[in-house]
Amino acid sequence: NGDAANPACSGIEGVLEAYHQSLRSVQLYGPTNFAPVVNHVARSAAEVLDGSQYFVLLIITDGVISDMAQTKEAIVNAAKLPMSIIIVGVGQAEFDGE
Which among 57, 60, 65, 64 is positioned nearest to 85, based on CA atoms?
Answer: 57
- Examine the domain organization and report whether 42 and 89 are in the same domain: yes
Backbone angles phi, psi at 4, to 5 degrees: -65, -30
Burial of 25 (0-12, 13-18, 19+ CB in 10 A): exposed
Mean pLDDT throughout 50-77?
A: 90
- Examine the domain organization and report whether 14 and 35 are in the same domain: no
- Examine the domain organization and report whether 86 and 63 are in the same domain: yes
Q: What is the pLDDT of residue 96?
A: 67
- Examine the domain organization and report whether 4 and 21 are in the same domain: yes
Distance (Å, whole) CA 68 – CA 66: 6
- Examine the domain organization and report whether 55 and 15 are in the same domain: no
pLDDT digits (tens, 9 = 90+) for 66-93: 899 999 999 999 999 999 999 888 887 7
- Examine the domain organization and report whether 93 and 58 are in the same domain: yes
- Examine the domain organization and report whether 45 and 88 are in the same domain: yes
Domain that holds residue 72: 31-97
Cis ω on the peptide bond leading into residue 31 (within 30° of 0)? yes
